[in-house]
Each structure stands twice: as C-alpha cells, then as structure tokens.
Amino acid sequence: MKIKDSLTVLIPLFGREDLTKRILHYFQEIKLPFKIVMADGGKKPLHDWINDKNYPDLNFQYKYYGEDISIHHYMEKMYNSFKLITSPLLIQVDNDDCICKNGTIYGINFLNKNNQYSSFRETVMSRCRTEGMYQEGNIDLDNNIDRVNESIIRGNCEYHNIMYTHITKIYYELCAKTKTNDLQLVFTFNRLWNSLFGKIWKKNTIPYYYHFPGQSVVQTGVYSKYTNWLQDEKFEDSISILISIFTNAISILNNTNLETNRHTFAQSVCNNIYKRNNVKKIPLNKHIKDSKKYDILIEKTLKNNNIQNLKTYFKLDEEINLNNLKLDYESNEKLVTISPGFSKGNIYNAKYSSYRR
C-alpha cells in the first residue's frame, strides 16, 4: 500500500462555505496526497463549486446527504460516509481547522510500525492561545479496561486523532443505531472507544493539527458540557447507552462476565461524571438497570462487526524517510499561512495545557 492510499481525510460539512473554500485551497496549495471525503449536511448541495474543475490537484469525493436536521441525522450521515472510505486509516478534520501534512505522514509511519496502538495524535496548536490545547501524554497501559478507565479520567476527545477506519465506522454505526441526539454522549463515547482496541499515542513534539476556535460546537453551546451533563434531559438515556456499549464490548473482547463488567464500568464512568457535576448521590442501580434495554441492539451490532477479531494493522509498500519531513513549527506555519484567512502569527510554538469538551 502506498502512503497516499493509507489515509482518508474525512470532513463533515454543515454550511460555512467560506471555511470549506479556505481548507480546500490550503489542501490544494500543499498538494495533499490523501483522499478527501466531504460528508455534507448543509441546507443545499455544493456541487456547483466543489468539483474537479476548481480543485484539479485534489483526490476527493463530495456527497450531499440532505440537511442535518438533528444530531441523529448527522450520525447517520457520518456512518453512511464510510461507504466512500477504503483506506485503513482516517483523520476527521473540521472545515474551520487544518492539518499538518508532514505531521500526518509521521503518524501514518508510527502506526505502521507500532500495531499495539489504535490511534495517534501529536501537537494540536490553536490560533488564539500562546500554548497548545492538550498536555496529557500517552495511554500505554496493556489492559483495555485500565486504558478505558484512564480515558474516563482524562476527558480529551479523539476526533482529530489518526484512527483505524473499521474501528471508527463501528463507533458511528452505534451512534446512528441508538438514535442518540446528545452530542455529549457522542464526545464521551469517542474519547473512550479507541482505548478498547489498543494503546493511545498522545505527545506534543511535532506540528500535527491546527485548531481555529470561534465557530465550533464547543463555542456555540448547542450541547451540554460534561460538567453540566446531569442537568440535560437526555442524560438518563445517554448514560444507559454508554454503559451498554462498553459492557457488551468489554465482555465480547475479553470473554468475561457481562454483569460484572456492567457494574464495574458503570461505577467508574458514573463516579467521574457525578464528581465533575458536583453531585454526590449516584443512582447507580437505576443506570445499570436502564442500560439493559439497549443490550440486544448493541450486542448484535458489535458481533456483526466481529469486534473480537479486529486488528490494528496495515502494511505500507514504501518506506517513509523521516529525515525528509519538515517537522519544525516555523516551516509549517508558513504552509498554513499560504491560505486566505490564515493570518501570519496565528499559530504558535509554545507550552501545552489541557482542553476538555
């Protein structure tokens, strides 16, 4: 497999045409070698300008799925978009952000040579800060339950990690089939999912992803933050879904007792959520009981995807010479600022701090 065929850039769209033009211009200028899949849920299709004539140097597929009238519709769109993805790896990118091409190639090389890892992320830099967004390091624990518990504590979403396509597809399939309309459930589920299947690489040593805040759902307030989740009317159903997913997944992967796993996971995740929401009394038995109503659907979905036999492995036919990659911040800042809308001086090489959804 060639490097260019090993990864797909998945971009969910909903309006913000100016930002889509900006990121496509950027990809064109840096000669992005990877396939781009754009899954559009905006008010109208954009075939009139997202076409080969305007972007002749890009390998992309654009598909309009109708308007995202709900979170559930968005999840169905994202799940269906995997029909367009054939690469073993993907990275999901918001259209108001951009990626470092060389940092992405570095990540592909890392996962190719380290199949005990299920995802990869390096430095996420931000325009409006003088520091990076994340400081948590790797999750290198050998046991998948220990990795899940560590992910519960840390709280960083993994949307912008390089992930395995077949593992991420199951994540979106479960989001779609459980018909959730709760983005906080989607984010919490996302931050735990990859740790079931392997170790998580999280370092801050090279340029990797550039976040441009201001218009993302984190800033717009369209969902409940983790620290206010208990006040959301959707929480009761969401925690039931989350408990059922991880209860069944752990039981299948580890061939261990379903109810033991249910109690252990429910206690771990509820302890963290209630603590972060400053609530001491946890109706744990109720959450455990309510989670069972999703078991049939979730167990069937997981087994149909044969999760007990999923592999974190792919093979490149060509060697990546890391010495030829420009992985310094100055060089990559110059690349970012070639695109209209990215002003010089907006990307920083600095210290790191945590960031939570």
- DSSP-assigned letter for residue 139: B
Q: What is the pLDDT of residue 343?
A: 52
In a shared domain, residues 88 and 195: yes
Asked if residue 202 and residue 285 are part of one domain, the reply reads no
Residues 134 and 177 placed together within one structural domain of the fold: yes
Same-domain check for residues 127 and 157:
yes
- Residue at token pair 């931050």: 191
- Structural domain contains residue 355: no
Count of domains in the chain? Answer: 2
The pLDDT tens digits for 87-109 are 999 999 999 888 889 999 999 99
Q: 319 and 305 in one domain?
A: no
Residue 101 domain-assigned?
Answer: yes
What percentage of the chain exceeds 90 in pLDDT?
Answer: 70
pLDDT tens digits for range 112-160: 999 999 999 998 887 655 456 777 889 999 999 999 999 999 877 788 8
Q: Which domain holds residue 254?
A: 226-309
Question: What is the maximum span of the chain, computed from C-alpha positions, in angstroms?
Answer: 60
256 and 142 within one domain? no
Residue for token digits 């930002």?
19
pLDDT-based confidence at residue 341 (cuts at 50, 70, 90)? low
Instruction: Provide the CATH number for the domain around residue 74.
Output: 3.90.550.10
The full DSSP string for 307-318 is GGG-------SS
> Which region, left, alpha or beta, applies to residue 278 given φ > 0 means left and ψ of -120 to 50 means alpha?
left
333: left (phi over 0), alpha (psi -120 to 50) or beta: alpha
28 CB neighbour count, 10 Å cutoff? 16
* Domain presence at residue 357: no
Determine which helix (DSSP H) or strand (DSSP E) holds 158, and give its type and residue range.
Answer: none
| The two three-digit tokens of residue 129, written as one number | 């800060």
HSE (side-chain half, CA atoms, 13 Å) at 312: 23
Q: Does residue 356 sit within a domain?
A: no
Same domain? For 130 and 241 the reply is: no
89 forms beta bridges with 7, 164
